[in-house]
Chain A
Amino acid sequence: MRLLRAVVILSYFVMATLPLAWLALTSVKTYDDTISAHAKFIPWAEAGARGDEQTAESVRFAPTLDAYRNLSKPVAGTPHDFYHYLGNSIIIGVLSTLAAVCLGTICAYGFSRFKIPGSKDWLFFILSTRFLPPLAVVVPVLVMYRWFGLENTHVGLVVLYTSFNLSLAVWLMKGFVDEIPRAFEEAALVDGYSRLRTFVRVIVPQAATGMAVTGVFCLISSWNEFGFAMTLNNYEARTVPVYFAGLQGNIEGVPWPQIAAGMMIFVAPIVLFTVLVRRHLLRGVTFGTIKQ
């Protein structure tokens, strides 16, 4: 049994991590090495040989950081370099996250501490918005955005992502706010604080960890979103996933090393965040339904 368990864990671990390892290796290759019919696994050139002297059949290759350097040059057929799109992703991700966490915390506090008629129905309405398929509502959103001149803008995506993250933010924050003992705010209310001041001075500091965790999950979902970003932004506010998708049909061949290098930079913060919120992952992916 022990042996079986070890085999299961080890083989899955290898299969799960190999693609990511391959991504890292690809980002330090030359274009020819990435599409070589003899896969290059080992990033050390043979002793004494320079990069161009490597034999085609070798599994070794000379690693280079050229792909990372080339990220600041636009790829043929695109108007901007990678960092332009990364900037779009950062602006849209950060603003929509801040908005969703603020609105979500305020809303969660209301549901947690006040008797609101039909609160359970409202909460489940909020949860159900999470399941709306982007492609089923993208047309009305597009028409609405044309009325307000929001298509192709950063603001348009920020508003959209904020509303789509609200369900997650409200449900996660309600879990966190429910855990804050009421004694704290009651003491503040006795001291003559108004409800609003109590919320800002007492609840927000107490809920700070929860807000940070919620923020990470909102940021990740905005960061990774593709359906809306693809259909609402043909040009101005294009995010990184849409940019990469557009490079697939590149006439000069798919620039794999640059794509891999860009992907490494794009996923690095998410890997870091995943490690930081690892204790809250279960809560995050189940809308706070399961608390660890």
Chain B
Amino acid sequence: MSRNEDRLRPGPAQSRLLGWGFVAPALILLLAMNLFPLVFNIYLSFTNADLSGGVVRNIGGHNYTVLFNEARYANALTLTALFVLLSVSIELILGFGLALALRDHVPGKPVILTILLIPMMLCPVVLSLFWNLILNGNYGVLNQLLAFFHLPQPQWLTDDDLKLVSILLVDVWMWTPFMMLISLAGLNAIPKYIYEAAEIDRASRWMVFRTITLPMCAPLLGLAVLLRATDALKQFDLVMAITGPNDASTQTLSARIYQVVFRDYKVGLGSAYGVVILVAVIAVATIFVRYIDSLNRRQGKVEA
């Protein structure tokens, strides 16, 4: 900071107070609406609270004993993990492949890109409700298309083995463009001269991909994967829209909370489930935050 700038600024104590004045309103709202409910949720998980509003008693770890012994818990945990793993990896592979196809000149590229990006901006619940019409086993257009090509026409929405596949299908349709967008940014950031050098060295296509393209995109792909993983971990909207919250074959942790709290009115147990998701989300989010921090530092962009 130059001496000239120093003179323009108020004294350090006053300046610090002014700075807090700017950031305080937002921080107070976040502490009240995000941090307080989180802490309150942990408290509730040790009580017998229910939605009818009776006397709240501390019952120690009882809710957790119930939770860890429930078959529904193991089921929800497995399904959520499976959903995160499958959706994120399928979206990554498709999105990255699409980005590779779209990286060089393609006629009408800006228009194509904008159109492809539209699904991820739209409302997940609204779109998946409409997918119910497309996936319907009797009059859905998907099965009619499959029939046209003489392919099997499964019952997407009622066959227990296929319900999760249907939810994955909609999720992949919505979020592949997200992976494509970030992959394209990664690909575009690779300097041309590196490829020219590889060409002079007569490196094979596969070699170039494996030693240049992939490693240089990896940091941004990691960012995309973490962002999607935290989102997929909370999956609730698509489950509610496509199969409803009670269906054991698609019940994610969030859907299980909905069932426990709003169908069985067991607030205490629901809060215990909330704590389980929070632990998982905080774990992934911590990795994410550290990752962004290291990414920023590598780009030399950190100003915080």
By a beta-carbon cutoff of 8 Å, the part of chain A in contact with chain B is 4-5, 8-9, 12-13, 15-17, 19-20, 22-23, 26, 34-39, 103-104, 106-107, 109-117, 119-120, 122-129, 131-141, 143-144, 146, 159-160, 162-164, 166-167, 170, 178, 182, 186, 189-190, 195, 199, 220, 223-224, 226-227, 230-231, 240-241, 244-245, 248, 254, 256, 259-260, 263, 266-267, 270-271, 273-275, 278, 281-282, 285-286, 289-290, 292
Question: What is the CB-to-nearest-CB distance from B204 to chain A, in angstroms, rounded to a whole number?
Answer: 14
A131 contacts B230, C-beta separation under 8 Å: yes
Chain B residues contacting A139 (CB-CB under 8 Å) are 41, 44, 261, 267, 270-271, 274
Q: Which of B65-73, B81-89, B177-185, B208-216 contacts A (4 or more CB under 8 A)?
A: B177-185
A19 contacts B131, C-beta separation under 8 Å: yes
What are 21 sample pairs from A and B whose C-beta atoms fall under 8 A apart?
Answer: A19-B131, A103-B26, A107-B26, A110-B22, A114-B23, A115-B15, A128-B289, A134-B254, A136-B234, A136-B275, A137-B274, A163-B30, A178-B303, A226-B236, A231-B261, A240-B123, A270-B122, A278-B117, A289-B296, A290-B182, A292-B185
In the assembled complex, the Cα of A167 lies from the Cα of B281 at a distance in Å of 16
Question: What is the CB-to-nearest-CB distance from B209 to chain A, in angstroms, rounded to a whole number?
Answer: 12
In the assembled complex, the Cα of A60 lies from the Cα of B34 at a distance in Å of 53
Question: What is the CB-to-nearest-CB distance from B240 to chain A, in angstroms, rounded to a whole number?
Answer: 7
18 other contacts beyond A39-B145, A270-B121, with CB at 8 A cut-off?
Answer: A5-B104, A16-B115, A37-B139, A38-B144, A39-B141, A39-B144, A103-B25, A109-B22, A110-B23, A133-B236, A133-B274, A136-B275, A226-B240, A263-B126, A267-B123, A278-B110, A289-B292, A290-B223
A224 contacts B220, C-beta separation under 8 Å: no
Query: How many B residues, CB 8 Å from partner?
Result: 108
B124 contacts A224, C-beta separation under 8 Å: yes
Chain A residues contacting B26 (CB-CB under 8 Å) are 103-104, 106-107, 126, 166, 170
Chain A residues contacting B23 (CB-CB under 8 Å) are 106-107, 110-111, 114, 116, 122
Task: State whether the Cβ of B277 lies closer than 8 Å to any Cβ in chain A.
Answer: yes
Chain B residues contacting A167 (CB-CB under 8 Å) are 30
Task: State whether the Cβ of B201 lies closer than 8 Å to any Cβ in chain A.
Answer: no
Tell whether A16 pairs with B25 under 8 Å between CB atoms, given A8-B98, A290-B185.
no
Chain B residues contacting A163 (CB-CB under 8 Å) are 29-30, 32-34
In the assembled complex, the Cα of A77 lies from the Cα of B295 at a distance in Å of 53
Chain B residues contacting A254 (CB-CB under 8 Å) are 133
In the assembled complex, the Cα of A33 lies from the Cα of B25 at a distance in Å of 54
A128 contacts B304, C-beta separation under 8 Å: no
A133 contacts B182, C-beta separation under 8 Å: no
A140 contacts B106, C-beta separation under 8 Å: no
Question: What is the CB-to-nearest-CB distance from A222 to chain B, in angstroms, rounded to a whole number?
Answer: 11
B277 contacts A135, C-beta separation under 8 Å: yes
Task: State whether the Cβ of B90 lies closer than 8 Å to any Cβ in chain A.
Answer: no
Tell whether A289 pairs with B295 under 8 Å between CB atoms, given A114-B22, A140-B36.
yes
| Contact count A vs B, C-beta below 8 Å | 293
By a beta-carbon cutoff of 8 Å, the part of chain B in contact with chain A is 5, 8, 10, 15-16, 18-23, 25-27, 29-30, 32-38, 40-41, 44, 49, 53, 94, 97-98, 101-102, 104, 106, 110, 112-127, 129-134, 136, 138-139, 141, 144-145, 173, 176-178, 181-182, 185, 220, 223, 227, 230, 233-234, 236-237, 240-241, 253-254, 257-258, 261-262, 267, 270-271, 273-275, 277-278, 281-282, 284-286, 288-289, 292-293, 295-296, 303-304
In the assembled complex, the Cα of A245 lies from the Cα of B238 at a distance in Å of 11
Chain B residues contacting A124 (CB-CB under 8 Å) are 289, 293
Tell whether A226 pairs with B123 under 8 Å between CB atoms, given A13-B116, A136-B278.
yes
Pick the contact of B130: A19, A113, A226 (CB < 8 A). Answer: A19
B257 contacts A135, C-beta separation under 8 Å: yes
Tell whether A37 pairs with B30 under 8 Å between CB atoms, given A131-B285, A135-B234, A289-B292.
no
With both beta carbons as reference points, the residue of chain B lying nearest to A277 in the complex is identified as B121
Question: What is the CB-to-nearest-CB distance from B89 to chain A, in angstroms, rounded to a whole number?
Answer: 17
Interface of B is mostly: helix
Pick the contact of A281: B25, B117, B122, B275 (CB < 8 A). Answer: B117
Chain B residues contacting A131 (CB-CB under 8 Å) are 230, 281-282, 284-285, 288
A285 contacts B22, C-beta separation under 8 Å: no
B237 contacts A23, C-beta separation under 8 Å: no
Chain A residues contacting B123 (CB-CB under 8 Å) are 223-224, 226, 240-241, 266-267, 270
Pick the contact of B281: A37, A39, A120, A136 (CB < 8 A). Answer: A136
With both beta carbons as reference points, the residue of chain A lying nearest to B136 in the complex is identified as A35
Pick the contact of B182: A220, A223, A286 (CB < 8 A). Answer: A286
Tell whether A282 pairs with B185 under 8 Å between CB atoms, given A8-B101, A128-B289, A133-B233.
yes
A240 contacts B115, C-beta separation under 8 Å: no
Pick the contact of A9: B102, B121, B136, B173 (CB < 8 A). Answer: B102
Pick the contact of B37: A8, A137, A195, A266 (CB < 8 A). Answer: A137
Which of A111, A164, A230, A289 has the most CB atoms of chain B within a 10 A radius of its CB? Answer: A289
B254 contacts A129, C-beta separation under 8 Å: no
With both beta carbons as reference points, the residue of chain A lying nearest to B278 in the complex is identified as A136
Chain A residues contacting B115 (CB-CB under 8 Å) are 13, 16-17
A16 contacts B116, C-beta separation under 8 Å: yes
Question: What is the CB-to-nearest-CB distance from B113 to chain A, in angstroms, rounded to a whole number?
Answer: 8
A285 contacts B29, C-beta separation under 8 Å: no
Pick the contact of B227: A106, A227, A281, A286 (CB < 8 A). Answer: A286
Question: What is the CB-to-nearest-CB distance from A134 to chain B, in angstroms, rounded to a whole number?
Answer: 7
Question: What is the CB-to-nearest-CB distance from B236 to chain A, in angstroms, rounded to a whole number?
Answer: 5
